[in-house]
Structure 1
Amino acid sequence: MIPKNSFPTALRTLRKSRGLSQEAFSEVSSRTYMSSLERGLKNPTLSKVDELCEVMEVHPLTLLALAYGLDAKGADKVLARVQRELAAVQDGQDA
């Protein structure tokens, strides 16, 4: 289970690491909405996550791995697990 504050923290961390202000998302979200996301008051849809990640020029899985991993090191573990699970899906399709 993902801790309640990890998506907001991951979003803020990633946004700041890209040198972006909340206003940089004005074509896809208002500053108020961004603030609400970063404070954990609202939850974005998958399509909104995709739009936000386009502004940050990262793949949506980068944001989600950071949220689930809680930091960059933990994100590596999350991505390794995803790779194993995808390989198992592929192996199941090949059988």
Structure 2
Amino acid sequence: MEYRQAFGETLRELRWQFGLTQEAFLGVAAISTISRIERGVQLPSFDMIVQFATILKIDTITLLMLAETKKQGFDTPDEVIKRVIKQLKPWSKHVD
């Protein structure tokens, strides 16, 4: 699955899960743009991703990780989280 499709499906699923309509994102983009993003036709800018996450009341990284989970074909974000933790180790001050 392409990233733009995974992101669009994730955004639409979260919007439905939170009981929101596309109109909830009108401050971010026009309905036609939101529709194109949700259908995987268009990728949003990073600023738009941040705004979508803010409206959904989730962290931006959560939105991106859920989209990555869908892109990789995983059922849960566990594998993505493990990979991210491994990649962040060099910057962690935590000692095992």
Q: Identify the TM-score tier after normalising by the shorter chain.
A: 0.7 to 0.9
Counterpart amino acid of 1:8? G
Map 1:1-95 → 2, pairs under 5 A = 3-4=1-2, 5-70=5-70, 73-90=75-92
- Separation in structure 2 between the aligned mates of residue 27 and residue 18 of structure 1, nearest angstrom: 17
**Secondary structure in 1 aligned to 2:76?**
helix
Name the TM-score, length of structure 2 as normaliser.
Answer: 0.81
- Separation in structure 1 between the aligned mates of residue 15 and residue 79 of structure 2, nearest angstrom: 22
Overall identity of the aligned pairs, in % = 30
Name the TM-score, length of structure 1 as normaliser.
Answer: 0.81
Runs of 4+ in 1 over 6 A off after TM superposition: none
